[in-house]
Structure 1
Amino acid sequence: MELTELYARSVDLAAEVVDTVRPEHLELATPCGDWTLRRLMGHIVGQHQGFAAAARGAGPDLALWADAPIDDDPPGAFRRTADDLKAAFVEAEVADRKLWLPEIRDGGPFPLHMAVGFQLVDTLVHGWDVAAALGSPSGIAAAVDGDPVLAEALLTVSELVPAGPGNRGPERAFRERRPQGDAYGSFDRALALLGRDPAWTPQN
């Protein structure tokens, strides 16, 4: 299965979670440091817009990656921008275009398959972040664990995320790797690789 197809599958799973977000949920705590769910949703939508711009040939302009304002329809904002990004990835594939990703390492350019892999991980992990904030993180994890090809792609890219001290920390996208429990499934192992606590709850 093509990586772009796996990415589309990751969007479908995350969208099922985001569809349950209501305006009254937006001030909930999330696993992302001190981010509220509103801030997390703004980041997710902003990343969709940034990746789409890069896929259509934009250069290293960080303004294109700014967090998006979130109104009372988070599911609509997620789906609209995710659908646009899926279309942009297809356009980049046809054009054989590399992508400038100014938030990653030196900015690029990156081959399309790497950019899609980065976004696949972000989509699934942030989908879990949203689910955890809502108190129901097990569904998306079980869905990925039940799809061996998608689970393998998630783990493969998660293992490639640099783990050196200059790349991890409270102000970085990911924290230090956590021990991977023997009983963990593939999704929880990926979370641990990225510094997430698979047992996170709002009370942690």
Structure 2
Amino acid sequence: MTQKIGELLEAAADRALPVVRGIDDARLGDPTPCAEYDVRALVNHLFLVVVNFQALAAREEVDFSQEPDFVTAGWRGRFGEETARLVEAWSAPGAEEGTTGKMGLPARTVGLMVLGDLTVHAWDLARATGGDFVPEPGVLDAVGPGLAAMAPQAREMKVFGEPFPVGEDATPFERLLAVTGRDPGWTPERASGTSGASGARAVGGS
């Protein structure tokens, strides 16, 4: 049976929240696997994604062109509140039906997009700040095929980087990360060298 987006987002949030809440203020200026984003900028981006995709679930228009500074007093708690609202928005009756957004995409596809953001960016932030992150298997099963299918268009739109080469023994999650242009072995220590700059982009906002 196909899991509902709201259920998948709840599972993804359960894995992402400890990562975000565990970020020390001293790490906000550190690099991330998204080469153009430091930790603070990526947290702001993920905040915006979580807020805007609540609106998309309700068939409201959104604007990704501006990224406010959400990293102000109490931001960790507010991130938890916003993810709870995201789950609620996509759990509402009819949220997965029809289309939403300026591109008129199927609503479930849009829901899978934010599921991908929450999952991949949680890994980005964990890897950047020394945290632990393992995606929930059901989430990975749902989001993996979707990200792979949208990858060519995402690269044209400069949302994904070029696919990163991985070995035959790569795990399904490592393959997903590679599809988005990320080096699954990225570390902050490698970020300053060419081998550590994966060319990954922030997933959301397309």
| TM-score where L is the length of structure 1 | 0.82
Question: Which structure is richer in relative contact order (CA contacts within 8 A, separation 6 or more)?
Answer: 2
How far the C-alpha of 1:131 sits from its partner, in A, is 0.3
After superposition, residues 1-204 of structure 1 pair within 5 angstroms as 1-59=3-61, 61-62=62-63, 66-69=66-69, 70-91=71-92, 93=94, 96=97, 98-100=99-101, 107-136=102-131, 139-141=132-134, 143-144=135-136, 147=137, 149-163=138-152, 167=156, 172-204=158-190
Give the direction of change, closer, same or farther, for the CA distance of 1:140–1:93 in structure 2 (3 Å limit): farther
Q: Is the 8 A contact 2:151 2:180 kept in 1?
A: no
Q: Write out per-residue CA displacement over residues 52-106 of structure 1, whole angstroms, 9 at most, x where no aligned residue.
A: 11222213x426x632311143422321111111111123635945321xxxxxx
Give the direction of change, closer, same or farther, for the CA distance of 1:66–1:55 in structure 2 (3 Å limit): farther
Residue segments in structure 1 that go unaligned for 5+ positions in a row: 101-106
Report which stretch shifted further, 123-132 or 46-55: 46-55
How far the C-alpha of 1:117 sits from its partner, in A, is 0.6
Q: How many residues align?
A: 187
Q: Write out per-residue CA displacement over residues 124-172 of structure 1, whole angstroms, 9 at most, x where no aligned residue.
A: 1000000011124xx323x44xx2x32221311121123269626xxx2
Distance (whole Å) between structure 1 residues aligned to residue 74 and residue 18 of structure 2? 14
Distance (whole Å) between structure 1 residues aligned to residue 57 and residue 5 of structure 2? 15
The CA RMSD over aligned residues, in Å, is 2.2
Identity %: 25
Give the direction of change, closer, same or farther, for the CA distance of 1:6–1:94 in structure 2 (3 Å limit): closer
Give the direction of change, closer, same or farther, for the CA distance of 1:94–1:191 in structure 2 (3 Å limit): closer
